[in-house]
Amino acid sequence: MAVLALTNAVVTIGGTAVSDKSNNVTLNYEIDSIEVTAFGDTGHKFSGGLQNNSAEITLMQDFAVNIPAGAATTSVEALIYPLVGTTTTVTVKATSASTSATNPLYTLSTTFLASHTPVAGAVGELAMTTLSFTGGTLVKTTS
């Protein structure tokens, strides 16, 4: 039985790699169930409706300029703050290996970010921010 320890996931938000600032990612793929039960049926019947996807990404908060690591581009805060109330694209891949049938790339387009908690934590803890993206269209790429 093959198993995978998630140690080298690749995560991008709006085209910016955030893997080196992330330590938790969850991608949910869901299709709404539409009830199509009619008179005479003896049980409920359902059909697939719209995609109802979501992604949750936990990032180590950062106000300095260092995404990607060592590059003078942007901080976690500078990347995320302007995305609140807008849609963006999130990509997730289980490992940094090439995209393939055994390492698919998931692209969640036009996903909405409703909120962001810029500062959270207790004394001596690592400052973290957890982002919850909702909606959008998920595409799985295997090549």
Model-level pTM?
A: 0.88
pLDDT of residue 73: 61
Judged against a pLDDT cut of 90, whether residue 74 lies above it is answered with no
Task: State both tokens at 61.
Answer: 């908060």
Judged against a pLDDT cut of 90, whether residue 85 lies above it is answered with yes
pLDDT of residue 69: 55
Phi, psi of 69 (to 5 degrees): -50, 125
pLDDT of residue 95: 95
Helix (H) or strand (E) holding 92: strand 86-93
- Region 121-143: mean pLDDT is 95
pLDDT of residue 30: 97
Judged against a pLDDT cut of 60, whether residue 89 lies above it is answered with yes
